[in-house]
Structure 1
Amino acid sequence: MALTSALCDDSVEALVSNIEAQFDLAPAQLEDLTKAFLDEVAQGLSAYRQPLAMIPTFVTSVPNGTETGRVCQVAFSGDHKYEVELQKQHKIKDDLKNGEATKLFGKLRIEYLAECVDIFVKESSDAFLSLDASSDSPVYLGLTFSFPVEQHALDSGVLLQWTKGFSAKNAVGHDVVSLLQEALDERDTHVKQLALCFRKHMSLEGAIFGTGTNGAWVEDVKKLPSSITL
C-alpha cells in the first residue's frame, strides 16, 4: 500500500510565501545589481572577450513603422526551426545536432535549412510570397541563429560555439549567413538574406528570456572599440 501525504492549506501558503520571498529584492539590492550590470556593459563595450559579450549588430538605424512589404524569417533555435508569417516547423533530429557538420550544413553549407526554406517558399508562393517559378525577384530573409555568433557585418556572422545541445563538428568558425545563402543559391531559391529589426515606434531596446538570454539596444558608436568599423 502506498503512503500518501497532503499539505494543509497553511503549509502550502507558507511554502509559496517562502519561494516568493526569495525573489523579493530590496531597492538597495536592485540598485547594486543595476550598477554591476552597467559596469559589465561598459567593460564589454570597451573590448572583445569580456565576461558579458557585447557584439555589434551592425544595424545603424531603426525603422519608423512606415515600412511595408513581406519578408521570410528563419529562426534556428533549440529544437525547432520555423518560418513566419505563414508558419512551418521542423524537428531537428539528434543525429543532425550532434553529428558531423556535413549532416547539418551539407558540404559545409546549411543544406538542411536551405531545403526547409525552399519547401516553404514553394508551398507559400501563391498565398504569401506571390512568386511563380519564373520570378527573379528575391524574397528577403531574416536569419535568427540563436547561438554565440561574432558579427562582422549586417549580413555576416561567424559561429563561436554551439550551445543548447548542439555539437555538430567542423562548424565553429564558419560564417553561417554565407553558408545558408550559398546553399539557397545552389537550390535556385529566390531568397536574399538581410537583417531587419522592427519595433514599436521609438522603442530602442529589447530583451529575450528563453532557452537563452539576450538583449539589444541602440548605442552610441563612440563607445565601441576603435577597431570596429560600421
Structure 2
Amino acid sequence: MHLLLTVLNTVVHRLAVFQDGILHEISEKIQEEFIQGLEGGSSKSSIAMLPSFVPALPDGTEVGKYVAIDLSGRNLRIMLLTLKGSNEEPEQINHNYVFPASVMKGTGDQLFTFVVNCLMKFLNEVNLLNASLPVGFVFSYPCELLSIRSARLLWWTKGFDIKDCLQKDVVKLLEEALELNMLTNVKIEVVMNDTVGQLAATAYKYGQECKIGVVIGYGCNSSYLENTARIKKFNAAAAGYKFDKMVVVTEWEEFGEKGELTKILTQFDRDIDEVSVHKGKQM
C-alpha cells in the first residue's frame, strides 16, 4: 500500500502544474489570439477563427426530414433526423460505422467510397434508398469554407492522414463518390464542423440562450455566432454574403503551437505528442 501511495503521489505531483497566475496569463493570451484570428486567420494567429457561412441559429419551429453524415474521428455516424417544430423533441435514427485503420491513412477514393457504401446501407435499412432528402455533411476537420456547401480541407487531425485530400473540396470529393455509385438522388445541402452542428442542435432545443457550441471528444473545438463586421479577414461583398451574423469555428485546439502552453505541459503530454500522427499539433 505504501508503494502504491508513493507512485500515486508522484503522478499527482507531475500533473499539478496549474497556478492561478499562469492560468490568467493563458486566458489573456487566448483572447488576444481570438482577435488576431478574426483579423487575419492562421497567418496571424494559432487560432484560425474560420467562417462557416451559417448566418443564424434555429429557433425550434423548423420542420422536415433530413439525413446527416457525420465524419468525426474514428467513427462515421449517419442519422435520419425528423424535426417536428413547436419545440418538440426530434426523432432520430442513428447508425455508427468504424473506419478501418487502412482507410484512415489510405486514399481519398477509399475514404469517400467507404462513406458512400455506409450511406447506401443506412438508406436501404430505413427504406429511403431512392428518396430525395437533403443531406447535411458534418466534416470535423479544419477547412476553409468557400460557401455553405464548399469546404477546402486545410489539414487532418484525429488520426487521419490522407494526403491526396489536402487542399481539396471535400463536398466535391463526396459528390464524386456518390455519382460513381449511382446515388445521385442524394444532395449535399450544407457542410459544417461538428461544433456548428452541436450549436445548432442545442439552439433548436433550448433557444437563443445557447451561445457557444463545444465538442470535447476525439478533438476539442468550439463555435459561436459572431457579428460579420468583426470578421475582418472575411470579404463579405466578394463572397456574396449579405447577413449581419455568421457562426465562427474557432479551431482553438491549435492554441499552443507558439509555445503558449509550455508552462503547463506535463511529461505525459510530451510522451503522447511524441507518438502522435501530427506531432506538435493540438497540444
Interval of TM-score (by shorter of Structure 1 and Structure 2) = 0.7 to 0.9
Name the CA shift for 1:39/1:113 in 2 (closer, same or farther; >3 Å). Answer: same
Shift of 1:201: 0.6
Q: Structure 1 CA distance, aligned partners of 2:120 and 2:207?
A: 33
> Paired residue for 1:44?
37
Give the aligned residue type for 1:119: K
Q: Secondary structure at the match of 1:69?
A: strand
> Paired residue for 2:70?
75
Q: Structure 1 CA distance, aligned partners of 2:2 and 2:116?
A: 54
Give the aligned residue type for 2:75: H
Q: Structure 2 CA distance, aligned partners of 1:201 and 1:93?
A: 38
Q: Structure 1 CA distance, aligned partners of 2:58 and 2:177?
A: 29
Pair 1:158 & 2:152 matched: yes
Q: Structure 2 CA distance, aligned partners of 1:11 and 1:48?
A: 47
Report the TM-score, using the length of structure 2 for normalisation. Answer: 0.65
1:51-66 alignment runs, 5 A limit: 51-66=46-61
* Root-mean-square deviation over aligned CA pairs: 2.6
Q: Structure 1 CA distance, aligned partners of 2:99 and 2:6?
A: 44
Q: Structure 2 CA distance, aligned partners of 1:189 and 1:96?
A: 24
**Are the equivalent residues in 2 in contact too, given 1:141–1:192 (CA < 8 A)?**
yes
Pair 1:221 & 2:228 matched: yes
Q: Structure 1 CA distance, aligned partners of 2:103 and 2:7?
A: 44
> Paired residue for 1:201?
207
Name the CA shift for 1:112/1:21 in 2 (closer, same or farther; >3 Å). Answer: closer
Q: Structure 2 CA distance, aligned partners of 1:13 and 1:94?
A: 34
Q: Structure 2 CA distance, aligned partners of 1:216 and 1:17?
A: 33
Name the CA shift for 1:7/1:205 in 2 (closer, same or farther; >3 Å). Answer: same
Q: Structure 2 CA distance, aligned partners of 1:227 and 1:17?
A: 45
Name the CA shift for 1:68/1:12 in 2 (closer, same or farther; >3 Å). Answer: farther
Q: Structure 2 CA distance, aligned partners of 1:20 and 1:226?
A: 39
> Paired residue for 1:128?
none
Q: Structure 2 CA distance, aligned partners of 1:10 and 1:183?
A: 56
Shift of 1:79: 1.5
Q: Structure 1 CA distance, aligned partners of 2:144 and 2:108?
A: 19
Structure ID, larger Rg: 1
Give the aligned residue type for 2:201: F
Query: Between the two proteins, what is the percent identity of the paired residues?
Result: 27
Shift of 1:102: 2.9
Higher strand share: 2
> What stretches of structure 1 of length at least 5 have no aligned partner?
1-5, 105-109, 126-130
Pair 1:103 & 2:110 matched: yes
Q: Structure 1 CA distance, aligned partners of 2:129 and 2:158?
A: 37
Q: Secondary structure at the match of 1:48?
A: helix
Higher helix share: 2
Name the CA shift for 1:13/1:150 in 2 (closer, same or farther; >3 Å). Answer: same
Name the CA shift for 1:16/1:96 in 2 (closer, same or farther; >3 Å). Answer: closer
> What stretches of structure 2 of length at least 5 have no aligned partner?
80-91, 191-196, 242-283
The number of aligned residues is: 210
Shift of 1:221: 0.8
Of residues 89, 93, 102, the one that matches 1:86 is 93
Q: Residue by residue, what CA displacement relative to the aligned partner does 1:45-68 show, whole Å, maximum 9, x if unpaired?
A: 001322111110111111111112
**Are the equivalent residues in 1 in contact too, given 2:40–2:233 (CA < 8 A)?**
no
> Paired residue for 2:177?
183
